[in-house]
Amino acid sequence: MLDIQFIRENKELIDLAAKKKHIQFDVEDLLKVDSDRRGLLRTVEEKRAKQNEATKRISEKTITPEERTFIINDMKELKESMARDEESLKEIMVEWQRLMVQVPNIPDMSVPEGMDDSDNLEIRKSGEKPEFSYTPKSHIELMQGLDLVDFERGTKVSGFRGYFLKNDAVRLTFVLWNYFLDFFASRGLDPLLAPSLANRESFIGTGFLPQSEEDLYKTQDDQYLTGTGEVPVMGYFRDDVIEQSELPKKVIAFSPCFRREAGSHGKDTKGLVRVHEFYKLEQVTLCEASHEESVKHHEAMNSLTEEAMNELGLHFRTVVNCGGDLGLGQVKKYDIELWVPSENTYREISSASYFHDFQARRLNIRYRDNGGKMRFVHSLNSTAIPTPRILVALFEQYQNEDGSVTIPPALQPLFGKEKIESQHPSNAQNPKT
């Protein structure tokens, strides 16, 4: 959420932000409601002041009975009028708040123009792209051939996009969680095991509501299942006042995640790329209210995830997201995309974003600066590692011609062997798509 005074003084910037992000929002609608809200608020405050003055006058010893009767009758009319105005103010406040949470944050000047992720700009590549003397298999073929996944029973049990990981895929997933929890914790991030259920306020505060409601699972108790640890972690700090000396706060949060993928019907329906239920390690940072601090931490968080991918020896590229691929609150975002040989393309594995005080205003997360002034923190987040999606590129980049998969050297000590290969060919599933 942006400050209403800033919106009033910079309505052209809000218009430009909406256009750049390709978001439908008319700032004039908000300003009209805001003007009505302020007018009614002034009227209510003036009438309340008159009521207080009359109450004080009635209590004075020098007042005559006639004056008291006159004031009481006058107050009755004033109360009725004020009650009507207060009811109108409540109605206007509902509409004002509805429009306020739709105001897009201002993207950084360096954000490129564009409609969607196809317009994102590559800024660097890392790692060595694997070369094959044969047609590389997909992760589906590889994992089913090694009896590591069951999509058929996954669909039977949990429906569309359901899956079971099996055998060494399960062991490797636990290795990945432990390895990268240690990786990020050793770099100064505090570990947090975050809940998957969160209230509506946490989703509004982080900007996922109202924009992305169709992508969320909702319970019968009016709670939502989170699609990222960012939501519960930011909710964790809601209404906090932090001392400046405690900033930055850096968290690495693990949580189960859920997304309906409502906007992606027919897209990536096979395999582990776009599933409804998954697990993530998520970086979250709170820092001082400074653009320079936000930029510094944004670059650092993204670099940490790049370092993590380099630890696995994976080939990837980093892109800066265009305006149309930014969320409502994001000022700037990087995506890290891993190379998927069977598709001859890159697939997003991580997003790193900063928001300035957009989320902190909604969640009332503040700090007291060294001069004693209360300020809203700046917030940032970045995917550290998502599972099972990372297995897609890992298995495909480390595959061997015989259908086995080499374990990245960094993980071999924890995993306990160098390869995953079929031990019981007769039990392996036939590759299915």
Residues acting as catalytic residues: 259, 274, 348, 351, 389
Q: Label each residue of the chain as H, E or C.
A: CCCHHHHHHCHHHHHHHHHHHCCCCCHHHHHHHHHHHHHHHHHHHHHHHHHHHHHHHHCCCCCCHHHHHHHHHHHHHHHHHHHHHHHHHHHHHHHHHHHHCCCCCCCCCCCCCCCCHHHCEEEEEECCCCCCCCCCCCHHHHHHHCCCEEHHHHHHHHCCCCCEECHHHHHHHHHHHHHHHHHHHCCCCEEEECCCEEEHHHHHHHCCCCCCHHHCEECCCCEEECCCCHHHHHHHCCCCEEEHHHCCEEEEEEEEEECCCHHHCCCCCCCCCCCCEEEEEEEEEEECCCHHHHHHHHHHHHHHHHHHHHHCCCCEEEEECCHHHCCCCCCEEEEEEEEEHHHCEEEEEEEEEECCCHHHHHHCCEEECCCCCEEECEEEEEEEEEECHHHHHHHHHCECCCCCEECCCCCHHHHCCCEECCCCHHHCCCCCC
